[in-house]
Structure 1
Amino acid sequence: MRVRALRMFALLLALLCLTISVQASSEYNENNPGDLRPNNLRAESAIVISADSGEALFEKNADDLRYPASLTKIMTAMIALVRGNPDDLVTVSQNAVSVPEDSSLIGLKAGEQVPLGELIRATMVISGNDGAVAIAEHIAGSEPAFVSMMNEVARYLGCTHTNFANSHGYHDEYHYSTARDMALIAREAMRYEEFREVAALWRYTLPRTNLSGPRTFTSKDAAFLNSENTETYYPYANGIKTGEHSQAGLCYAGSAYKDGVQLISVVLKSNAAGRWRDTRRLMDYGFSRYVSTSIEQLFRQNPKVVDISSYALDDVNLGRLELSLRKIDPTQDDHLFGLADQADTWKQVYNTRTSISYNRVLEAPIEAGDIVGTMTYMPEDSEDGPIMYELIATRSIARRESAAPSIEEIYIYTANDPNPFPRFSLEFVLIMLLPVLLVIFL
């Protein structure tokens, strides 16, 4: 009996050690953001994607149906900015101010007139449901008509698990989406400069209207966007929208930019602390997947080497000359960004989009620092035209004394001589006739 009890104790101890080991191995390491795991996030659904390609870099239950809450207003604001005139006056209806009392509100009044652009900013910053309805009615004539428009745009963007029932995100059983779909909507919205300007706001003052004085609002996004919030501020963040209600939990669609890389993240059904922490971890993971280089760096990894003719006989490198590179216009950007596992494509870009020409014959003497040619790089999507570099000699090469003419020199001499054949002279004739005379007389 005692032996059996000891065995049971040993088994329980082993299981306890295994549990502790698993927990320790799954803890988040801030010094290694690329080792993110699903259980390191409080959110029940989450995703981070490349804003450029739309590729998902990390996801957790990204296709599970969730309530998006006020992330809905991303779609509302995007449609309004694309289809509306920001200078148009919106007249607030009684229906718009009749949203549920527990909604987040701007505090609009029936009959109040607000320029559309100002209304969009206020609605996004304070997450005003009354503002969302007023926008919807102004753009489409009624909120139901606007909601149909929202669902049509969602389908166009490839959102296969999304259905909007209102313009603001107040809870409705038939108002749902997924982390993946909301990321697609946020990605599309951030393509528009007007939306990016609104998305970056965390404080906004709505100017005086016909019925109200100026009103200043502060967004919950300030936790992530305002540098004064040292515990939650993320230096690369540039928007975009919070959302929350009891069934949705705390949600956030975020955007961040670093070293030429733009990311979009979404967390759904997180908690107060997790909303910001999850977003930071998703962004840090996404940025850790990217590496950057430049055309200059690629050149230095495999510098151009040329053969110099007529080099001195004591040249230990036998005329081999390595060239260095110098950008003619230092302000031009030749950086390349991409996922770490796709870095091989950079070599292809370098090989197919650069060309070299020389401005002199490659022969000695050459002095260190001499410009011997140029390299041209043609970026795929640059509006500034080609990027030019000088090719520079890295060492001096002396000319060989009494050197035989090089092939290049012979070619140049022959090309410049109108009569490259030997001139006829008495000596030339005698030399040519000598063999014949010897045969005749001998």
Structure 2
Amino acid sequence: MQKKVALIILFLFFINIFAIPVYAQSPQINSPSVILIDSATGRILYEKNSHEKMYPASITKIMTAILALEKGNLNDIVTASSEAVLSVDAGGSNVGILPGEELSLENLLYALMISSANESANVIAEHIAGSIDEFVKLMNQRAAELGAKDTYFVNTNGLHDDRHVTTAYDMALISRHAMTIPKFREIANTSYYEIQPTNKYNEKRYLSNTNHLINKYRATRYYNYLYEPAIGIKTGYTSKANHTLVAAAKKNGLELITVVMGSKLDGMKYQSYEDTINLFEYGFNNFGMQTIVKPGDIIDEVKVMDAKANEHVILLAEQALTALLPNNVDKNTIQKEVYPLSNIKAPINKGDVLGFATYKYQDQVLGKVNLVADRNVEQEPIVIVKNKTISILNSLWFRVLTGVIGSVLVILVILRIARRKKKYSFSRNKVRYIRNKKW
């Protein structure tokens, strides 16, 4: 009996030692193109066909909002033109803006982002750029500046056009920038808004956000996608694009952004919301901020010139480095690259910056830290003289100079030898002449 117990204990002991770590399963995703990124750093946590060109539908309006906030004034009163209002299909998303109606740019932005008003996008465009076409040029220019290389906008609102395309990756870049604008964050996370009466309307207009993640009134008895950590951003739909959704959520100090494109309606379930929530849960459950380096950690050691023989200085991390990593990451898989300054010479003071180190995980840069000296290092005069002498002897100009001097000496020796030979020859000829002379 005791022998069996001992064998069981030994078996469990070896299981604990050699147990293979269980890594988190990838999220269940049905949409054809998705991405999950860390909002703070842009680091990709999960992706599926994220560089495939897709139709964006109304998530296009994120770029429209960015330009309005960067180039406009929220208090501006904007008059809607007939072209801006009537050039879009009245059957699409709208808030019923009338030609000649006066609205603040702020109200137009709420209509754009909450009710996905197509005509509001055009009114904003004319106000900011003078015309819709000029505004679209600005959209493409700004997208390129943000790194969106596979994006081409044709209109301000995302109504279908075969040329109007983007990718999940590009929309993540654009949306990450948008979330750095405080007013955008506020609007994108507003579930309900009222537009006060205008010169064309005597009554208030009530706007209800199309985003089920933040609007509890969108829930039905068949589905409820209200997601407590969600903080925006924008929905989209056309028959060609299917459902698109850009979303952001924050939990435990971690902010994530998702982009889901080409999603379909599965019975009474929206793939876009199902996939978005699955992505968020995957991110929040499996990733966290981890400390890679602490201030004062020993990073490397380098030789110091002009100091005592074999004098070295320890390079310490000047600041901490934290990064978003899988909870079960093996720290040994984090790559470190050290870049000390070239020709580190004494004197050195404790705390002097002598280089930096970068850290990568799966080829993504996590950050860098400055490297500082751990102590003072004094100059050594004898070593300085020695090093200076060696430096002079090894220098190009010294080698050239010694070469020239050597060449001159060789030439002088050759000339001297030649002169001696000539003198000797002359003396012999003179003796021969005297002997042969008849007196």
Q: Which runs of 5+ in 2 are unaligned?
A: 1-21, 296-319, 337-366, 368-439
Question: What is the identity, as a one-letter code, of the residue corresponding to 1:183?
Answer: A
Alpha-carbon distance in structure 2 between the residues aligned to 1:336 and 1:220: 36
What residue number does 2:287 align with?
290
What residue number does 2:208 align with?
218
Residue 150 (str. 1) matches residue 115 (str. 2): no
What residue number does 2:66 align with?
78
Residue 95 (str. 1) matches residue 83 (str. 2): yes
Residue 280 (str. 1) matches residue 277 (str. 2): yes
Question: What is the identity, as a one-letter code, of the residue corresponding to 1:42?
Answer: N
The farther-off stretch of 127-136 and 203-212 is 203-212
Paired residues of 1:244 and 1:250 also in contact (CA < 8 A): yes
SS at match of 1:238: strand
Paired residues of 1:133 and 1:143 also in contact (CA < 8 A): yes
What residue number does 1:50 align with?
38
Residue 173 (str. 1) matches residue 162 (str. 2): yes
Alpha-carbon distance in structure 1 between the residues aligned to 2:30 and 2:214: 21
What residue number does 1:35 align with?
25
Q: Which runs of 5+ in 1 are unaligned?
A: 1-31, 300-333, 349-379, 381-442
What residue number does 1:338 align with?
324
> Could you say if the C-alpha distance between residues 107 and 336 of structure 1 is closer, same or farther in structure 2, counting changes exceeding 3 Å?
same
When normalised by structure 1's length, the TM-score is 0.59
Residue 204 (str. 1) matches residue 193 (str. 2): yes
Alpha-carbon distance in structure 1 between the residues aligned to 2:24 and 2:110: 35
Alpha-carbon distance in structure 1 between the residues aligned to 2:75 and 2:215: 28
Question: What is the identity, as a one-letter code, of the residue corresponding to 1:236?
Answer: P
When normalised by structure 2's length, the TM-score is 0.59
Paired residues of 1:78 and 1:195 also in contact (CA < 8 A): yes
Paired residues of 1:292 and 1:335 also in contact (CA < 8 A): no
Alpha-carbon distance in structure 2 between the residues aligned to 1:111 and 1:46: 41
SS at match of 2:213: helix
The CA deviation at 1:101 is 2.5
> Could you say if the C-alpha distance between residues 33 and 220 of structure 1 is closer, same or farther in structure 2, counting changes exceeding 3 Å?
farther
Alpha-carbon distance in structure 2 between the residues aligned to 1:157 and 1:136: 19
Paired residues of 1:43 and 1:275 also in contact (CA < 8 A): yes
The counterpart of 1:111, out of the listed 84, 94, 100, is 100
Alpha-carbon distance in structure 2 between the residues aligned to 1:344 and 1:235: 36
Paired residues of 1:34 and 1:284 also in contact (CA < 8 A): no
> Could you say if the C-alpha distance between residues 235 and 67 of structure 1 is closer, same or farther in structure 2, counting changes exceeding 3 Å?
same
Alpha-carbon distance in structure 2 between the residues aligned to 1:129 and 1:148: 18
SS at match of 1:47: strand
Question: What is the identity, as a one-letter code, of the residue corresponding to 1:50?
Answer: D
Question: What is the identity, as a one-letter code, of the residue corresponding to 2:193?
Answer: Y
The counterpart of 1:182, out of the listed 171, 176, 189, is 171
> Could you say if the C-alpha distance between residues 285 and 102 of structure 1 is closer, same or farther in structure 2, counting changes exceeding 3 Å?
same
Paired residues of 1:33 and 1:284 also in contact (CA < 8 A): no
Q: Find the structure with the greater CA-based Rg.
A: 2
Alpha-carbon distance in structure 2 between the residues aligned to 1:197 and 1:290: 26
% identical aligned pairs: 38
The CA deviation at 1:294 is 8.4
